[in-house]
Structure 1
Amino acid sequence: MKLNQLLWASALISVSFACSDSGEEKPLGKYDNGILIMNEGNFGTNDGEVYHLNQNTEELLPNIFEAENLRPFAGLLEDIVLEADRLYLVANTGKVEIVNPADFKSLGAVSAELDQPRSLAVNGSKLFISDYGPYNASYATPDSYVAVVNGLDGGVVSKKIEVSNKPEDLFSHGNFIIVAGSEENKIEIIDATQEVVVSTIDLEASPKQFYAVGNVLWIYAVATDEVIFYTVNLSSLTLGNTYTVPVANATSRIAFDGDDEMYVLTSSGWPDYNDAVVNIDIEGSSATFTELMTGSGFYGIGYDHNLDQVYVSNSNGFQGNGTVTVLSETGSVVRTFEVGRGPSGFLIY
């Protein structure tokens, strides 16, 4: 599972007022800056939730969706996406909740005709939602799709676009939606107007996350004994450079610092769960990596551009609440604190 994350979207906010559409300044809302911590929740109890952290005061507010909407989130939280002045909370238990970023009040939802949604992108007035689709008798997902919803505040699914198995991250550019097809090592490009796949790019590893810098889209992909970073020229939608890094057992969790440095999680898996936080630095045509921290139970990662700190979450085996450890860029521990069940990602403003 992700999170983009979220591969998560990030924004820098250095003033205490935001501009409205009219150009007038208005005070920022309660949750308009700081860090949102995505707690996935426990399978079966579906108790995913979001915490809010003020990095300066270290004030931590728990369960802010429930606090602001007077009802539990009631799902397994897979991703949080900030687009079109809205926060989209994607639950892989079959729904998307849409909230106002300032106060976390509900704006709408997509709660029908989804199976196992993974992430979301906005194109014009449409939502595009990657979805594994239902499991078959062999627990495979041969009917994966990208769902289309007409309306930024949710509604019904108007179409399901067939894509390769297990689509993960999505990226919207111009009139296109770019899809990370993780199981079949494909990048699929959807025409957002026609709502059909118009081209496919085959990769040598499983694509997990996208990150855009200027006119270049980075693709983070993993294989058993290495990670591969591809670049895509957004003008032509063609592959550019490829960087292969001999980092074994990489997970889908990654954080970008915005300056050709990445932080990824690795895990040997069951039964040992030898996990690590690895820094990857790409300069020119070469890539180097450094192991910053080792342990077990690492589950999510994020990067705070304001303070140049790395946030690493630990699920603690889903035995009670998880924890978050804040690291300096060199790997020294700044602090540790408790969060919710299964913390898996961060959205850092």
Structure 2
Amino acid sequence: MNFLKKLTYLFIAVLILASCSNDDDSGDPVLPLGDYENGILISNEGPFGTGTGTVSFISEDNSTNEGSIFQNVNESELGNIVQSIGFSSDNAYIVVNNSHKVHVVNRYTFELITTIDTGLINPRNFVAVENSGYVTNWGDPFDESDDFVAVIDLTTNTIVETISVDFGPEKLVTDRNNVYVAHQGGFSQNNKITIIDTSNNTVNSTVDVGDVPNSMVLVDNDLWILCGGNPSFATTETKGSLVKLDLNSNNLIQSFDFNTTDHPSSLTIDGSNLLYNLNGSVFSVDANAPSIPTTSILDGFFYTMTANGGKLYTTDAGDFASNGTLKVFDLSTNTEVESYTVGIIPGGIYFN
């Protein structure tokens, strides 16, 4: 019996040691990258001409809704107007239009790394391709001949060259070695997509699309472009359109027209469904069998919107002078499920 007891105790000891060894093999717990990991960032333009823009953060578990996170971390203001945010690796690039600068921060801690404040004139949007960043610039908004894309070396965060482009460059999308620039037209109207070859930072070609291309999404080997059309206050009002560009040939292969007085905006994608905002409603188009729908899926006048993970994230700028709202809709039921107060004129939604 004593021998059996000893054998039993030995067996138990081996099991305990094995368990401890397995615990050790699991390594140290994964530490968070920063207070602003796993959540939503909202770029708030701020009051036009005065004051400062801000960035709001809402945590993934909805437990935190913090405004002005850049100011809170760095004890300084972003400037006027916070136009957009772009990302490269662990860094976020906050584009501040009226202040002609780009703040570079750690995207998870929001600690300031540096500020690029030379070589930018009315910057609008940022996108990264490997070690280079591309920033659209209006130049003088009343001069249609001085618009450009600034190229940033992301290792030094300095502007190394500029690429002259047509007037009113706005949103950018990347595919392989190309950057596609939509020319909305600034304070006027334009109708072009510029294709930049990032291997040599030259303009490869320019494609005419519908008037006022305001948003783009990639679907497989195609680029869908939503064109708002010239607004009613333009010299000639024109209809909006939804067009598809083949990224292999860079040719337009499909185009769908709206009514002349319809001016859609904020193209985004959920699965294979293209979503856009028009006249206070959201419409859905199947990218595999596209046509202009006549029935909306939900209602709301949204300043911008972005789909992610089966939900539609939208912003309401309210009176454009006080705090706005982020509203979240479940796209399986098309019902509102969450609502948050954010900053003044919330113009961009990003997932961190």
TM-score with structure 1 setting the length: 0.79
Aligned-residue Cα RMSD (Å) equals: 2.6
Structure number with greater Rg is 2
Instruction: Give, in whole Å, the separation in 2 of the partners of 1:295 and 1:193.
Output: 42
Partner of 1:199: 205
Q: 1:226 to 1:85 in 2, by over 3 A?
A: farther
Alignment of 1:299 with 2:303, yes or no, is yes
Equivalent residue for 2:149, pick from 134, 139, 146:
146
Equivalent residue for 1:90, pick from 85, 91, 95:
95
Structure 1: gaps of 5 or more residues: 1-23, 267-274
Equivalent residue for 2:139, pick from 133, 136, 140:
133
CA contact (8 A) 1:190 1:198 kept: yes
Instruction: Give, in whole Å, the separation in 1 of the partners of 2:168 and 2:285.
Output: 29
Instruction: Give, in whole Å, the separation in 1 of the partners of 2:266 and 2:63.
Output: 24
Which structure has greater strand proportion? 1
Instruction: Describe the superposition over 1:221-275 as per-residue Cα deviations: whole angstroms up to 9, x where unpaired.
Output: 22256542322333333333333344954354333223223132x4xxxxxxxx5
* 1:332 alignment partner AA: T
Structure 2: gaps of 5 or more residues: 1-28, 231-237
* 2:192 alignment partner AA: K
State the aligned residue count.
Answer: 310
Instruction: Give, in whole Å, the separation in 2 of the partners of 1:332 and 1:248.
Output: 28
Q: 1:278 to 1:290 in 2, by over 3 A?
A: farther
Partner of 2:169: 167
Equivalent residue for 1:260, pick from 273, 278, 282:
273
Instruction: Give, in whole Å, the separation in 2 of the partners of 1:56 and 1:151.
Output: 32
Higher relative contact order (CA 8 A, sep 6+): 1
TM-score with structure 2 setting the length: 0.79
SS in 1 for 2:280: strand
After the TM superposition, which of the residue ranges 160-169 and 205-214 deviates more from structure 2? 205-214
Matches within 5 A, 1:1-349: 27-93=32-98, 94-135=100-141, 139-152=142-155, 154-155=157-158, 157-183=159-185, 184-224=190-230, 226-246=239-259, 248-250=261-263, 252-264=265-277, 266=278, 275-282=279-286, 283-292=288-297, 294=299, 298-305=302-309, 308-329=310-331, 330-349=333-352
Identity %: 28
SS in 2 for 1:243: strand
SS in 1 for 2:293: strand
CA contact (8 A) 2:105 2:111 kept: yes
Q: 1:254 to 1:152 in 2, by over 3 A?
A: farther
* 2:39 alignment partner AA: G
Instruction: Describe the superposition over 1:283-328 as per-residue Cα deviations: whole angstroms up to 9, x where unpaired.
Output: 41434253355566x32222231xx332322222223212223333
Instruction: Give, in whole Å, the separation in 1 of the partners of 2:223 and 2:89.
Output: 20
